[in-house]
Amino acid sequence: MRPSSHQPAKMYLTAKTHKFLNLESITLDKLKYRPILDQIGTMTYNTSKIIARYLSPLACNEYVIKDTLDFPNIIADNPILQDEEDVSYDVESLFTNIPVPETIEYIIKEIYQNNKLPKICNKLIFKRLLLKLTSGSLFSANGKFYKQVDGCAMGDPLSVTLSGIYMCKMEHEVVKPMNPSLYRRYVDDIFYRRKKNAKDTLFENINNHHQNIKITIETEPSKFLDTSLIKYDDNYKKALYRKDRKVPIHWQSKTPKNYKRNAILTELHRAKRISDNYTEEINISKTKFVKAGFPNKFVESVIRQCNTEKDEKIIPDYLFEERRFITIEIPYCYRNEKASKRFISKLEEFTQFEFRFRIIWKTRKIKSLFPLKDKITHPSNVIYKGKCTCGKTYIGETKRNVETRWSEHNVPSEKSEPSKHLTKNVEHFFTWDIMCYASKNNNKRRILESYLISINCPRLNEQLECKKCHLFRNGIT
């Protein structure tokens, strides 16, 4: 739970282009955006993740759909009657409209009065912690700082958990007393079965439950989550829902071949669990990927693989092997991918098949070329270099705010080497600069620091050499 840095959250926007029918209809005045807070590296991020895991049991009840692929089974087990009809509700901007004070009061009541979770601290302390993690977060946007006063933002580890807890609270107070024949929810999407030509009391009660929470309604929905619904008699014909304007990855794209293979496999696995006509889904998927430039032979081989393999196991078989499993991260390019099979076979032969190796390809997304967030104003997890007016240099590392560490070096009373140097030479002073950003992992950061020290040989560092590690003593040929 210790903070890893002091930097504030950064807000950026993602455009909702999927709301338009085609590219020609997209205009700036009609374009809507989704605000996201990047809280990775903030002082509350690690704490929020732990508290979210701790509170997660309060975000579950009998109405929650645990998996989008579980919805077809729910529909199959609940045939619709002639005097009934299905509707879907959608909560408008759930995360940003969560009534945080009411939700926190409900959490405190469930833990300290109803004993739903083990107590981890005093009630007052825990309440203050929740308020600090939610309404007290700071973020930057366009070079200015803002403070969040209500609601939760996308990107906050607590947002999903708090939204689920509030919806469970609402369902306990509004839905449960009505005892509906079918009511299921996945985050902010609700599927509800009601009587035909009757007043929709549930819709009114949810809209009146809190002034921040408003829902929209769709009667006889043609799709819900990943499932397309075609009604006939007292039930539905189910098919895999595909967005009309969403195109698959193109065969000529600079991505690893296993990414392209997995794109087909993922769609086929979803179709197998959702659709009533798997053969038809195979033909649709085949046409879709062939249009995207995939070779016919490649698509058919993936389909055969999907049809012949057994049910996917939760824990893969290779994890039970006696051989130690090692992953190798390599930057992706076509030449590396082409040479990877020979490299792995030579590597296994060299290690006398003692280890099992798997390559993780490191790719770069196009969006990384276009900065959407503010620059980091308070860098942390860096390797830095200081140069004294006398010409001597020092290299160090820190996981904290680098400016704080520099100010400590500039105080003569400190025990670091630059401080000792300034104690002996009062008229000298240091100029500081960041050499590179480093890992949050302490060992990896210190290894990089020792390497840079051995290369640059700064005169104020006590350690001028690093241990040489030979991964392959005789090389690989």
Contact 97, 212 (CB under 8 A): yes
Q: For the residues of 378-427, what is the DSSP string, one character each? A: S--SEEEEEEETTS-EEEEEESS-HHHHHHHHTSTTSSSHHHHHHHH-TT
Q: Is pLDDT of 144 > 90?
A: no
C-alpha of 290 from chain center = 30
pLDDT given at position 136: 67
- What is the average per-residue pLDDT within 247-264? 89
pLDDT given at position 289: 93
Q: Looking at residue 171, what DSSP letter applies?
A: I
Lowest mean pLDDT among 132-141, 323-332, 403-412: 132-141
Q: Is pLDDT of 470 > 80?
A: no
pLDDT digits (tens, 9 = 90+) for 91-122: 988 888 888 899 999 999 999 999 999 998 89
| Share of residues in the chain with pLDDT > 70 (%) | 90
- Residue 216: φ, ψ to 5°: -110, 160
Count of other CB atoms within 10 angstroms of residue 467: 7
244/470: higher pLDDT: 244
Q: Is pLDDT of 191 > 80?
A: yes
449/16: higher pLDDT: 449
pLDDT given at position 477: 42
Q: Looking at residue 434, what DSSP letter applies?
A: E
The chain-wide mean pLDDT, for the chain, equals 85
- What is the average per-residue pLDDT within 257-280? 91
User: Burial level of 383, CB count in 10 A (0-12/13-18/19+)?
Assistant: buried
Q: For the residues of 274-324, what is the DSSP string, one character each? A: H-S-HHHHHHHHHHHHHHTT--HHHHHHHHHHHHHSPPPPSS-GGGGSSSE
> Which pLDDT band, with edges at 50, 70 and 90, does 58 fall under?
very high
- What is the average per-residue pLDDT within 43-62? 90
> Which pLDDT band, with edges at 50, 70 and 90, does 162 fall under?
very high
- What is the average per-residue pLDDT within 378-399? 90
pLDDT given at position 320: 61
pLDDT given at position 267: 92
> Which pLDDT band, with edges at 50, 70 and 90, does 476 fall under?
very low
Q: pTM surpassing 0.85?
A: no
pLDDT digits (tens, 9 = 90+) for 273-320: 899 899 999 999 999 999 999 999 999 999 998 888 665 555 556 556
Q: How far lies 43's CA from each of 2, 4, 374, 405, 446, in Å?
A: 8, 6, 17, 17, 22
pLDDT given at position 29: 79
Q: Is pLDDT of 52 > 90?
A: yes
| Share of residues in the chain with pLDDT > 90 (%) | 33
Q: Is pLDDT of 366 > 60?
A: yes
Q: How far lies 37's CA from each of 11, 16, 344, 367, 398, in Å?
A: 4, 16, 40, 17, 25
pLDDT digits (tens, 9 = 90+) for 163-183: 999 999 999 999 999 999 899
pLDDT digits (tens, 9 = 90+) for 406-462: 998 988 777 888 998 888 888 899 999 999 988 888 888 999 999 899 888 898 887
